[in-house]
Each structure stands twice: as C-alpha cells, then as structure tokens.
Structure 1
Amino acid sequence: MPRPANDVRAFEPHATDADLDDLRTRLAAARLPEAETVHGVASGPRRWEQGVPLADLVEVVNYWRTGYKWRAFEERLNRIGQFRTTIDDLGIHFLHRRSARSDATPLILTHGWPGSVVEFVDVVNELADPKDSGAPAFHVVVPSLPGFGYSDKPATTGWGTEKIAAAWVELMGRLGYSTFVAHGGDWGGVITTVLGGRFPTHVLGIHTTFAEAPPGLTTDGLTAAERRWTEETRDFWRHRAAYAKQQATRPQTIGYSLVDSPVGLLAWILDKFAEWTDTEDSPFETIHRDTILDDVTLYWLTRTGASAARIYYESHESLDPELRVDVPTAITKYPRDIDKCPRPWAQERYRQIVRWRSPGAGGHFPSLEVPEYFVKDLQAGLAAVLAASR
C-alpha cells in the first residue's frame, strides 16, 4: 500500500554497540601496505602525490580506534532534528531545522561526494536563527542523497540528478514549502542547477559553488585568470579524476573495498579531503579530524560506500547541455576548488547571475573549511537572489 504524501516521520538512529566494537576490531586488525616511495620528503603536496601517506593514515586510524566518539555526533544530529519520508518507493533521510523568525525562507542544502549531511551540521543553526538580526533567516532542510547516509539505497537504476531534483521538490512540498531557495556544491551543485532550471515555479533562486557551463565554449575573450581556471579544471579531469571514472564505470567493484574495509574507506575519502581543500600539507589544517571521521563513520555504519559511488554511474557528465537556469543565481568560486567555471561561461547557462564572488581562501568543502565566511556568503548570496525574485 503506497504511503500518503504527508508521511514524514521523526527519526533517531543509533548505531549498535556491536557495530562500533566491530569497527574498532577491524581497525586493530588492518593490514597496511609499505610506505609510499616518496616517503620522507618535506611537508607539502608532493608528500601526497601517491595518495594518503602511510604515517598520516596510521595516526588517523589509531585515533579513530581509541579516541573518536561517534555517540557525540549522533547526539548533534538528533538535536537538529532528523526525519524520514518515502518518495518514489525510496526512503529519504533529512535534517530539518525550522527558524524562529516569521520572515524565514525555506532553504534546501544538498551535499555531494564524498560528503554527506556532515557538511552542513555546523552551519544549520546560524542559517536558521542568525545572530545578526539583519541577516536573512531560513527554514533549513538537509537531505541525504539516495544511497548516502540514512537514506535508502536504490535497488534499481534511475536515481540520477534529474530524479533527485524532482524528489527534492516533492520533499519540500511535504514540509509545507511550495517555494524555496536552494544551495549545493559538487553533486549538490548539479542538483541545485537542475532545481533552478527544471522547477522555476517552485525555486525562487539558487546559490551554488559548482557552476557547470554548456559544452563547446572557447576561451576567446577570457581574461588570463579565467584561462588559468579552465586550464586547472582541464588538468584535474584529465589527470586526477581516476576516482570518478572508477565510480562511474565500476562502482560495484570499488564498493566491496569501501563496505568491507574501514581503512580502505578512510583512505579513499581522506585522499579527496587532502587534495580538494585549501591546505598545503594536510586537510586537518582547516578541517577538524573529528569532522572528517564523522563523515567517514557515517559511510561505514550505513554501509553506503558502494551505493553512494553509484551517483557517478547514474549521472557522471549527464547534465543536459540544453538546460538553462533563468531564476536568480548567486555563484561563489573558491580558489582551491577542483572545477572552476569562468563567469562568461557560466552566464551561458545561468541567465540571471545576481551575485558572483571569488574569495581568497577555501576549497571544495567551504562549509567545513571556512564556515564563518561560508555562512555570510550564503546569506548575502541568497539575499540577493530573494531581492531579484520579488
């Protein structure tokens, strides 16, 4: 029997002691390879050029086993408010924090890979009830993508970014939000673009850190800095995106390692936090070790290493080249992000860019790396969007 459209249920997951004990046992019994052959070089990016250095991994594994506290993160999630609903026969998990302000606007925040709702846990309260009374307030909804975290794992193909965006519209409607604004980066940025392009009657406007231009544009007329952006982005996709090719073509194969080995999962994810953050030697320069372990442990306990990887199989390079976004759009490009689209290119898809920012610091995970700036920028960007939508 199908569930009613208003079927939204409170949800408070608790990992079993047996699962946490099993994690510690597996970490203690881990078989590790020898050190990388660039072992011993001075600190800096070259130390990571073969992947996560052995010494760094050993240190994090030992802390994960003996010092890290998962229960503290569970409590933080529950304080925000967790819920589940079923859309198209798939259970969707989400955080929901209503603002106390009567002028608050509904906002959906969408994470990417290898992120999760962890990306937004520390910024939800300030977005909902900002300390600055002049800043906009939001009713904040943070869903877990299908196959991620406490959302169900799709049992069939078809859950790509277009279907996810449609599900987000349904989700917001069930919460009483017929119109809303949206933000996302990484896969969340693609989904946010689809929301703005496909559902303009529901989406007042968008803010994104990931703007994807239509294919086939030339560098003619770009500034020297914009050309560097395109060269850096091209270099990333040509030489440093093996993870994406693997997950887009053989997610099941890598999935066995990600679900069976906590050390394998940690290394797979930590490598991306290291390479994609605005740091010189280690992601822990800007992101607390516990935060990264919150993210990795969520993947581990929910056994979602394979199912999360499948978003690449479903949607890699699949954004409709003809899709155009006519709702007001704010875009922020952080300097150490992996994919930076010049504004002249972005304007070919996003027809009403009302705010564009290129800050001096930050990478692929700005809500974790520079959370204070991220919140203020998101507030300002969405304020511009809302002003333009009136």
Structure 2
Amino acid sequence: MYSWLVLGLVAAAAAAGYDYESDPDIYHNKWWGPEGMEEDTSIRPFKVEWKKKMVEDLLYRLKNRRRLTPSLKGTNYNYGLNTDTMSYWLDYWANNYNFTAREEYLNQYPQFMTDIQGLSIHFIRIVPEIPEGKYSIPLLMLHGYPGSVREYYDVLWDLTKPADNRDFVIEVVVPSLPGYGYSDATNLVGLGFAEMAFIFKNLMNRLGHEKFYVQGGDWGALIGANMATFFPDIILGYHTTMPVAATDEALTLITAGSLYPAAVVPTELTNRLYPLQNTLEYFAQDFGYLHIQAAKSDALGVCIGESPTSLLGWFLHLFSIFSRRTNGNDPMGGLEIYSRDQIIDNLMIYWDTETATTSIRLYAESFNKKTFRSGFLNAPTTVPTVAVQALGEIFYFPPAALNTKFTNLVAVDVLDDYGHFLAMEQPQLFVELVLSGLQRIMQFNKQNM
C-alpha cells in the first residue's frame, strides 16, 4: 500500500509539470552586469596571481592578531569553535604556508574567463586527449560554500585521464559560482541558486556543449538539481553528493514516517533520520549559520571579511559541523582529516578576491519568500540521477522521499563513513563514485531514452 502511495504522489507531481519561462519568480537570462556594458563572449586564459602587497598585508594581520578569547573548559567545538587550538592553523598560515608554491599549485589546471549575462565567470576546463576507440563526455562540476573550485583539485586529473576499462573520457568544467572566488559578483538583487542554473547552462553552451552531465555538492547540488529540472532535454545526467528533495510530498512523507519509520527508511538506515526529534535538534543546534547568512548576509560578511583570523574561524566552524555531526566534542573540531594546505588554499581564494560578503549573499537570494512561492522546488526532475549519501552529510533523504523529486533515480550509493566535503576528504573514493555513477546513468539512458 505504501509503495502505491509514493507512486501516486510522484505521478501527480509529474503531471503538474513546470515551465520556468512562465514563472515570474525566476529571473532567467537576466543581465546581471553593469548597465550599458557589452558582453565579451571570448574565452580568455586566466591565472591566479597573488599580489605582493596583498600577501604582505595578510601576513601583517596574521602576525599582529589580537589575543583570542580562551574557550570555556571542555566546550571544544560545541560553542562553534575552539580558540585554544586556532594556533594550529594561524601559525601555519603566518609562518609555514608557502605562498609561491601554493599559487603554482592553484595554477596547475587550465583556467579561463568568459562573460555570461554581464558577469565574468571564472572556470577550470580540462579537455583530455581522446584515445582511439573512445569518446568524450562533458561534465560540469559545481562547488558550494564555504568551498570553492579548490574542493575538486585533488580529483580532476584522475577524473579526466583515460582508462582501459571504460570507453569514454571526461572533459571537466569547474566554474567559480558568481560572487565566489574569481567570478564576478552582481550588484543587483535576485541572483539566487535558480538563476545560477541559467548562467551555467549558458556557460556550457558557450563552450560548445549542447548537452552535458552535471555533478555537485552543497550549493552545487541545489544548482545542479535546478538545471536538471529546468533543462531536462539538455542535462544528460545528474550526480550529487548531497541529494535534496524539498517537495511537499517528501516532507509530508518524512513527517508521517516518524510514526512508522520502516515505511519510509531502509531499516539499517533508520537512525540517519529517526527519531525525527534528533534530526530537528541537530538542525536547531548547527544551522544557525544558515539563518544569519540568509537574513543578514552583509553584516556577517563585514565581520568575517576584514580579518583573516575571523574568516578562518568562521570557515573552520562550518567545515567542522559539515564534516561530522559529532565533531563538536573534538578539541580540533575533527578537522585534521584535511591538510592545512587544503583549508588555507580555500581561504586564500576568498581572501584574495574579497568575496566574504558576496558569497554569503547567495543564501539571502535563495532562502527567501520568492524561492518558496516559486514552483521549481516541487517540480519533478526526470533527468536520470545518481545520489551519494555519506554518513556525515548534513541532510539525509531516504529514497522514497528522493523519488518524489527525482523520478528517474537510478541509484543511491550509501556510505558508512565520511562527510560533506567528500572530494577533499576522500578524493580516490569520490572519483570512483563519480565514474561509477556516470556509467550507470549512461546505461540507463541507453535502455530508456
């Protein structure tokens, strides 16, 4: 009986359909740049260049930082941060971080700029050689917050190199989100995660890809899902490490499941969602960041953007809570699973570009009344989808809930460990999951499309 209920809900959603062009709350193909500016459609080479003056100023601030207020005894990361262990990161940044070597590291991949809808968009693009007998597929990879394109640096070469056991090679395109890193920010209200879907569709079209695959986590997962919803004839497949189904049906199903979890969640995964009180307590304790970033983005941006210590502190807090739900009890916040270079490379992208505020604005432009009254959250997504669910991921949606959004859910890969930043934490596993996911999507397309 339960399965028929789910199928009925999915069928009702699919019958409704969704047309973004008739939705007044979606600013598709809007011009986000300065008025009167002509768009430069050329694709221009780009390199990260850290100015000497910027580095000198940064080092001065790091070496002349104020004394941090000691943490309360035994609180570890439960109050958001453990200032007693901040020197592990700050001293390394000030005294041991090799700016020249790390700048070279960030320039190891071909990078470019092009103008899309009035904004200069930065992106990495790796076009591999195609061995005889193989073909190339384009994959758009989208990062999140407080991440950047740096999230994918440890996986790109392995993703794009040919292998004897598969007949395709991958061309990857990894853009910086507008307002993040080296992509322009807009000075206009309204550029949210729905609107970014159009920018990245236009970017891929600019690069000559009429159809392509999308992979993403965090914001990249939400933008990628929107792309799959808006452009089902363009997106060949969607792979995500953070599957989210915010449909009315999914939320109703999850709520009703608290009475009988076995009807909603596989028995061995029950504790990822139920008792629902535990999930709600987790949201209440650790999701204050989302509310403040959505409600008062510029106030927070000023607070963390003026000091490298403040920026590091805020980002460590977020990396900690996103990596494991139990990290609050760890004096290092559980962050030693990442290298100091991984964390600080990512920070350097934000510091160099002064995007602390503009990156946070994506929350204000996405979590608002305009988004929630729009139809795309409930719209069915027919693009074949493969989801990965790490144990420490910040959201867990059971397959029954995901099916109310993703009507062609090809597979769900459930992991018994790991967290939100899977490409940084477990790069080899991430590569294997993406390659496996793409292969299953392609097989699905051959059989069904």
TM-score range, shorter chain: over 0.9
Matched, 1:313 2:355: no
TM-score, normalization: structure 2? 0.81
Q: CA deviation at 1:77?
A: 3.0
Any idea what SS the aligned residue of 1:47 has?
coil
Whole-angstrom CA distance in 2 between matches of 1:198 and 1:337: 26
Whole-angstrom CA distance in 2 between matches of 1:275 and 1:288: 17
Q: CA RMSD in A?
A: 1.8
1:161 — aligned with what? Answer: 193
Whole-angstrom CA distance in 2 between matches of 1:342 and 1:19: 47
5+ long unaligned stretches in structure 2: 1-36, 258-262
Matches within 5 A, 1:1-390: 2-5=38-41, 7-38=42-73, 41=74, 47-101=76-130, 102-131=134-163, 133-134=165-166, 136-213=168-245, 214-215=247-248, 216-219=251-254, 220=257, 221-223=263-265, 224-230=267-273, 231=276, 233-278=279-324, 281=330, 282=332, 283-316=334-367, 318=371, 320-390=376-446
Whole-angstrom CA distance in 2 between matches of 1:136 and 1:114: 32
The answer as to whether partners of 2:143 and 2:219 remain within 8 angstroms in 1 is yes
Change in 2 beyond 3 A, CA 1:193/1:300: same
Segments of 4+ in structure 1 off by > 4 A?
A: 130-133, 224-227
Greater CA deviation, 86-95 or 135-144?
135-144
Instruction: State the number of aligned residues.
Output: 383
Greater CA deviation, 194-203 or 213-222?
213-222
Q: Which has the higher contact order (CA 8 A, sep 6+)?
A: 2
5+ long unaligned stretches in structure 1: none
Any idea what SS the aligned residue of 1:322 has?
coil
Any idea what SS the aligned residue of 2:62 has?
helix
Per-residue CA distance 1:143-175 (angstroms, 9 max, x = gap):
000100000111111211111111111101111
The answer as to whether partners of 2:40 and 2:114 remain within 8 angstroms in 1 is no
Per-residue CA distance 1:168-223 (angstroms, 9 max, x = gap):
11101111111110010111100010111111111101001122221332333123
The answer as to whether partners of 2:215 and 2:221 remain within 8 angstroms in 1 is yes
The answer as to whether partners of 1:229 and 1:342 remain within 8 angstroms in 2 is no
Q: CA deviation at 1:137?
A: 2.3
Change in 2 beyond 3 A, CA 1:285/1:60: closer
Any idea what SS the aligned residue of 1:140 has?
strand
Q: CA deviation at 1:302?
A: 0.7
Per-residue CA distance 1:17-49 (angstroms, 9 max, x = gap):
1100100100112113321113xx4xxxx5211
Any idea what SS the aligned residue of 1:290 has?
helix
Whole-angstrom CA distance in 1 between matches of 2:341 and 2:108: 18
The answer as to whether partners of 2:135 and 2:167 remain within 8 angstroms in 1 is no
Structure of greater Rg: 2
Change in 2 beyond 3 A, CA 1:131/1:77: farther
Whole-angstrom CA distance in 2 between matches of 1:154 and 1:83: 19
Whole-angstrom CA distance in 2 between matches of 1:343 and 1:136: 29
Any idea what SS the aligned residue of 2:108 has?
helix
Whole-angstrom CA distance in 2 between matches of 1:325 and 1:107: 18
